Structure 1
Amino acid sequence: MALWSGVGQVANIAQLAGVDAYGLISMIVEAAKTVKRNRETCQLLARRARMIGDLLQQLEGTQLMHHMETRNPVEQLEETLRHAYVLITSCHDSSYLHSFCMGGKQADQLREVQNEITFYLQLFPLVSFVDNTRTWERLLSRACPLCTRESTDALCAARHVEHEDRLRSEALKATKIENLGRHPPLKSDKEQMEGQVMNMGGLVNLIGGGKGAELSCFSFSQILAATDNFSEKKLVGNGGFGYVYKGNLINGRNVAIKRFDACSCQGPDEFRTEINAIPNLRHKNIIDLLGYCVQGEENILVYEYMPNKCLASIIADETKRELLNWSKRLQIIKAIADGLAFLHGHSQMCIVHRDIKASNILLDHEMNAKITDFGLALMLTPNTTAEVVVMGTYGYADPEYVATGNISEKADVYGFGIVLFEIISGRLIRSYMKAEGTRKLPPPAYAHKYDRKKLLKLVDPLLCVNKHEWAQILECVRVAQLCVHHFAKHRPTMSEVVTMLGVAQRAHAK
Structure 2
Amino acid sequence: MNLLVLLIPIWVFSPSLISVITTDARPDPPLSSISDPLLPTEKQPFAQISSEMAAHSPGPPERIVHHQDLNKKILIALIVASTLLCGILLSLFCFWIYKHKNLKNSIAKSQQSHDAANGISLGPILGRFNSLRMADKRGSAALIDYQLLVAATNNFQENNVLGEGGFGRVYKACFSDTFIAAVKRLRGISHDAEREFENEMDWLSKIKHQNIVSLLGYCIHGEARFLVYEMMHNGSLESQLHGPSHGSSLTWHLRMKIALDVARGLEFLHEHCNPPVIHRDLKSSNILLDSNFNAKLSDFGRAITGGNQSKDSLKLPGTLGYVAPEYLLDGKLTDKSDVYAFGVVLLELLMGRKPVEKIKSAQCQSISHLGHASAH
Alpha-carbon distance in 2 for matches of 1:326, 1:376: 31
Equivalent in the alignment of 1:297 = 223
Equivalent in the alignment of 2:314 = 389
Equivalent in the alignment of 1:375 = 301
Structure 1's unaligned 5+ residue stretches are 1-207, 453-510
Alpha-carbon distance in 2 for matches of 1:272, 1:425: 36
Relative to structure 1, is the Cα distance of residues 443 and 259 closer, same or farther in structure 2, using a 3 angstrom cutoff? closer
2:143 pairs with 197, 204, 217, which one? 217
What TM-score do you get using the length of structure 2 for normalisation?
0.60
2:278 pairs with 346, 352, 356, which one? 352
What is the one-letter code of the residue matched to 1:231?
Q
Cα displacement string for residues 67-108 of structure 1 (whole angstroms, at most 9, x for unaligned residues): xxxxxxxxxxxxxxxxxxxxxxxxxxxxxxxxxxxxxxxxxx
What is the one-letter code of the residue matched to 2:368?
P
Equivalent in the alignment of 1:202 = none
| Bigger shift: residues 402-411 or 315-324 | 315-324
2:285 paired with 1:285:
no
What is the one-letter code of the residue matched to 1:353?
H
2:245 alignment partner, SS class: helix
Pick the structure with more strand per residue. 2
2:349 alignment partner, SS class: helix
What is the one-letter code of the residue matched to 2:216?
L
1:256 pairs with 167, 171, 182, which one? 182
Instruction: Check the 8 A contact 1:255/1:304 in 2, yes or no.
Output: yes
Compute the RMSD of aligned alpha carbons.
Answer: 2.2
1:275 pairs with 192, 197, 201, which one? 201
1:389 alignment partner, SS class: helix
Relative to structure 1, is the Cα distance of residues 449 and 386 closer, same or farther in structure 2, using a 3 angstrom cutoff? farther
Counterpart mapping for 1:39-438 below 5 A: 210-250=136-176, 252-262=178-188, 264-317=190-243, 319=245, 321-380=247-306, 388-391=313-316, 392-430=318-356, 432=357, 434-438=358-362
Relative to structure 1, is the Cα distance of residues 319 and 446 closer, same or farther in structure 2, using a 3 angstrom cutoff? closer
1:442 pairs with 366, 369, 375, which one? 366
Pick the structure with more helix per residue. 1
Relative to structure 1, is the Cα distance of residues 451 and 274 closer, same or farther in structure 2, using a 3 angstrom cutoff? closer
Instruction: Check the 8 A contact 2:344/2:367 in 1, yes or no.
Output: no
Instruction: Check the 8 A contact 2:189/2:223 in 1, yes or no.
Output: no
Instruction: Check the 8 A contact 1:242/1:264 in 2, yes or no.
Output: no
Which has more radius of gyration? 2
Instruction: Check the 8 A contact 1:398/1:415 in 2, yes or no.
Output: yes
After TM superposition, give the deviation of residue 263 of structure 1 in Å: 5.3
Relative to structure 1, is the Cα distance of residues 285 and 218 closer, same or farther in structure 2, using a 3 angstrom cutoff? same
After TM superposition, give the deviation of residue 451 of structure 1 in Å: 3.5
Instruction: Check the 8 A contact 1:386/1:407 in 2, yes or no.
Output: no
1:224 alignment partner, SS class: helix
1:293 alignment partner, SS class: strand
After TM superposition, give the deviation of residue 363 of structure 1 in Å: 0.4
Instruction: Check the 8 A contact 1:418/1:445 in 2, yes or no.
Output: no
Cα displacement string for residues 167-225 of structure 1 (whole angstroms, at most 9, x for unaligned residues): xxxxxxxxxxxxxxxxxxxxxxxxxxxxxxxxxxxxxxxxx981121211101111101
Aligned residues: 241
What TM-score do you get using the length of structure 1 for normalisation?
0.45
Relative to structure 1, is the Cα distance of residues 231 and 385 closer, same or farther in structure 2, using a 3 angstrom cutoff? closer
Relative to structure 1, is the Cα distance of residues 385 and 244 closer, same or farther in structure 2, using a 3 angstrom cutoff? closer
Cα displacement string for residues 280-317 of structure 1 (whole angstroms, at most 9, x for unaligned residues): 11111000000000121121000001011000011113
